[in-house]
Chains A and B, each alone.
Chain A
């Protein structure tokens, strides 16, 4: 799991946004915060202070946020969560493909960002000798033994259903794009067919969700991909 105190670097040109982010991260404990008000300062701090997590705003005065993302990704795997005012799905997918771990769309609540941050940190610090069991609500997925328990009872999945759950479990709490899922599960030209993925998700929901019509574990990120929630959040009323 993550360290006792994680250094989070906030790169955003809006002082008021930085202020509430700092308050939010410090209040939730386990974080020390550093701020940068532009891309140049952000890149410098990211290089010299080795943060454990970067919160990156896309609209920076001196450089496009996506460029900063690419630059950091060229030398570091540090978790990066992007803040965007874009609610454009293609843009989100592009950012994820560039290496962002997740995104939140402004305006957002701090709880959402903290949850994403924990998920990203968990994935970053996870090592082989750690417990290979991922828990997501009533589900626990043993990534080594390939067994899945639902409410402590083992359930049986087809090969592809397990593969889907496995990929989502390794990114638990984070969004995984359609393309990534299709690549991980299928081979050949079937990879491009999102219809298969939709059907597979539907079938898996029938097994793991209490109410498959209102999924709370395996949730859809419209136009982007899927997310396995690490715990039940109040999905119905945001």
Chain B
């Protein structure tokens, strides 16, 4: 499977990645300590200034201020630094002997230790408070994004919408690289800005898509020491792609937290994919239902509505035909006959449409039963008697014809369609010959006419629904459904249909081969006839 690569997470991630390690070290570790010491310096300066005018008695309390500031702004270690720095500065500047770290007064020693104790406890409390606040802010941030994410999920109608939502969310909350590899058959590889995705990750994502069922992988990129999570985005029946997220490489705990986070998001997303699947399936079901309803309507009401008036017409004409006044009057009789004929023709059209509906709905379920081929052919001829009236019909049955295993109604209809075509496409008065013979476990019915024949071009298109040759469009009426219905019905009976013509004007032979019934035991003939 060829994968191609889509958008890469944006947000603040790129700037972060461009920072050099020592720069980041300075920024996160050295700067807060320096700032803490600077605060201690400022406090000392202030105290020295006040001390000029009147002796400062609350020295330790003043030194608590930089400790609290450091704890709330930069955390525990800067606060501890401030506490120690403050104690040292107080000792140096304000406890006798001045400008020395030596302490002579035991009271001063107690004071300083008390200060250190209180400072450390306060710094711990303050930094915890800071952490809590930070966590709360983070949570709020996440909830906001999650809310945004779920809103976007609700508006997802395609898998690519979903992927965009995931990317937006992950880069927003984690500030991380996310990349999506589509499992797609299209072979266009999108050259997105993807230098940030290491080659190992790409290879592994491609491997995941090739191996169905592999849902997750974790890769550490040796060059940047960052951990990439690879997760398959899949629904019940398909893998849509693989999402790769850089969860960083700083600390194990942070990576674990982010991993959990990413997994929660992907779980949510896979639910959405299922919803998308269900949505698609429902849409399809609705379409099918509509189709089915149309068919049912035609099958049930419409065909009934069409056939009832026809039955009245055909029936009334048949009564008229028997009335002495009509029977004895040639002209009236022929008119009534025409009514009957046309009514039957219309009924034939409706039957054809019903058959076509059945075929296109794949609703041809043959009821296979042993039948005598002679009965089937005779019935087909009888059913089309009016259409064949202008032709000479010659039938030759081979002796010793085996029985056939077919749905007689379907085969009768198929043969009828072919006979009707033979009559339609050959001149009045010409002969249609029907031969039935046995041939290697099959019974072959061949229907030969002396008609217009078919060209090789037309032969190719035969069997397509509604195919009609342009040669006859103007001259011979028809729907083009006949051969299509016949060949579908024959195939449904495990038979084959073959059409041969020596060319235009040379007549046509259609051969239908049907499976002969297997004789179940040798005794059957004698059992049947004792």
Contacts and interface: CB of A to CB of B under 8 A. Distances in A.
A173 B275 CA distance: 63
B361 to A, nearest CB: 15
B292 interface: no
A1 interface: no
Contacts of B370: 194-195, 198
Given A85-B304, A85-B307, A198-B371, A20 B385 contact: no
Interface in A204-230: 213-215, 220, 222-223
Contact of A107 (B344, B379, B383): B344
A235 to B, nearest CB: 7
A184 interface: no
A107 B315 contact: yes
Nearest to B407: A223
A215 B370 CA distance: 18
Contacts of A196: 524, 527-528
Interface stretch (B71-79, B110-118, B255-263, B316-324): B316-324
Contacts of B340: 109
Given A107-B343, A107-B347, A200 B528 contact: yes
Contact of A198 (B389, B403, B409, B520): B403
A107 B322 contact: no
A176 to B, nearest CB: 15
Nearest to B316: A20
B192 to A, nearest CB: 61
B322 to A, nearest CB: 6
Nearest to A161: B529
Contacts of A17: 308, 311-312, 315
A64 interface: no
Contacts of B408: 222-223
Given A89-B367, A158-B529, A198-B370, A111 B524 contact: no
Given A21-B315, A23-B319, A213-B397, A106 B308 contact: yes
Interface centre among B351, B382, B395 (most CB of A within 10 A): B382
Interface string A185-202: 000001001111111111
Nearest to A190: B527
A107 B310 contact: yes
Nearest to B344: A107
Nearest to A16: B312
A238 B397 contact: no
A41 B371 CA distance: 42
Contacts of A128: none
Interface in B322-341: 322-323, 340
Contact of A195 (B379, B385, B520, B529): B520
Nearest to B370: A195
Given A222-B376, A238-B385, A199 B395 contact: no
B517 A24 contact: no
Interface string A111-138: 1000000000000000000000000000
A106 B304 CA distance: 10
Contacts of A203: 528-529
Interface string B395-409: 101000001000111
A107 B314 contact: yes
A202 B372 contact: yes
Contacts of B343: 107
A236 B524 CA distance: 32
Contacts of A159: 530
Contacts of A107: 307, 310-311, 313-315, 343-344, 347
Nearest to A202: B372
Contacts of B344: 107
B309 interface: yes
A236 B384 CA distance: 10
Contacts of B347: 107
B449 interface: no
B369 interface: yes
Given A24-B318, A160-B530, A203-B528, A16 B382 contact: no
Interface string A12-31: 00101101110110011000
B525 interface: yes
B374 interface: yes
B412 interface: yes
A199 B529 contact: yes
Nearest to A214: B378
A110 interface: yes
B394 interface: no
B435 to A, nearest CB: 12
A20 B315 contact: yes
A144 interface: no
A160 B524 CA distance: 13
Contacts of A200: 528-529
A28 B321 CA distance: 12
Contacts of B524: 193, 195-196, 199
A85 B308 contact: yes
Contact of A108 (B311, B321, B527): B311
A89 B311 contact: no
B303 interface: yes
Contact of B525 (A27, A85, A199): A199
A24 B412 contact: no
B291 interface: no
Contacts of B527: 190, 196
B528 A160 contact: yes
Contacts of B105: none
A46 interface: no
A199 B525 CA distance: 7
Contacts of A109: 314-315, 318, 321, 340
A237 interface: yes
B51 interface: no
Contact of B375 (A14, A24, A222, A235): A222
B372 A220 contact: yes
B530 A158 contact: yes
A70 interface: no
A22 B52 CA distance: 135
Contacts of B409: 87, 89, 222-223
Given A195-B403, A202-B372, A222-B409, 16 more contacts: A14-B312, A20-B312, A20-B319, A23-B319, A24-B315, A85-B304, A87-B409, A107-B344, A108-B314, A198-B372, A213-B378, A215-B378, A222-B375, A222-B408, A236-B382, A237-B386
17 contacts: A17-B312, A17-B315, A19-B316, A20-B315, A23-B316, A109-B340, A111-B322, A161-B529, A195-B370, A196-B528, A198-B372, A199-B529, A202-B372, A213-B374, A222-B371, A222-B408, A223-B408
Interface of A: 14, 16-17, 19-21, 23-24, 27-28, 59, 85, 87, 89-90, 106-111, 158-161, 190, 193-203, 213-215, 220, 222-223, 235-238
In the A-B complex, the 8 residue pairs with the closest CB atoms:
A107-B314, A109-B318, A106-B311, A16-B312, A220-B375, A107-B311, A196-B528, A20-B316
